[in-house]
Amino acid sequence: MTLTIDTPALLFSATSLILLAYTNRFLTIAQIVRGLKKTYDEKENKSILIEIANLNLRLTLIRYMQLAGVLSLFLSVFAMLVLFFEYQMPGIILFGGSLLMLLISLGISFWEISISVKALRVHLKDLVG
């Protein structure tokens, strides 16, 4: 198998957009947590604590998603550097690692989204019946 320097470069745009989406999710959840904490300080409702715990888990998952995404980008850049110096096998291994990190990042993202959907269903259950 021959890998050119162009192939790892293809991950740049996809990984950058994914990291941007993860950051937006993080910022949105952080804003919600701040609002819920303020509400809890005023009302001391136990259900708010449960929701904050859920959001804390989601923030942790997003941190790991971002870490895996950054590692994917780092390994992709390193693979390009190695391929630039014409070391084919290390470049292939690094690019494979980059793809694996991207896959892990996407898997954690799916996990975080499923937690979010479950939480929304709890809220909708009260409205729908």
DSSP state of 114: H
| pLDDT category of residue 129 using cuts at 50, 70 and 90 | low
Residue 11, C-beta contacts closer than 8 angstroms, at least 6 positions apart:
72, 73, 76, 98, 99, 102
pLDDT in the model for residue 11: 85
> Is the pLDDT score of 15 beyond 80?
yes
> Is the pLDDT score of 126 beyond 70?
yes
Enter the pTM of the model. 0.89
Asked if residue 25 lies in contact with residue 62, where contact means CB atoms within 8 angstroms, the answer is yes
pLDDT in the model for residue 89: 96
> Is the pLDDT score of 122 beyond 90?
no
Compute the distance between CA of residue 37 and CA of residue 60 in angstroms, rounded to an integer.
Answer: 18
Asked if residue 59 lies in contact with residue 29, where contact means CB atoms within 8 angstroms, the answer is yes
Asked if residue 23 lies in contact with residue 63, where contact means CB atoms within 8 angstroms, the answer is no
H-helix or E-strand spanning residue 1? none
> Is the pLDDT score of 100 beyond 90?
yes
For the segment 16-38, the average pLDDT, to the nearest whole number, is: 94
What pLDDT, in 10s, does the model give residues 37-95? 999 889 888 888 989 999 999 999 999 999 999 999 999 999 999 999 999 999 999 99
Instruction: Report how far apart, in Å, the C-alpha atoms of 38 and of each of 33, 44, 51, 119 are.
Output: 9, 10, 13, 20
| pLDDT category of residue 31 using cuts at 50, 70 and 90 | very high
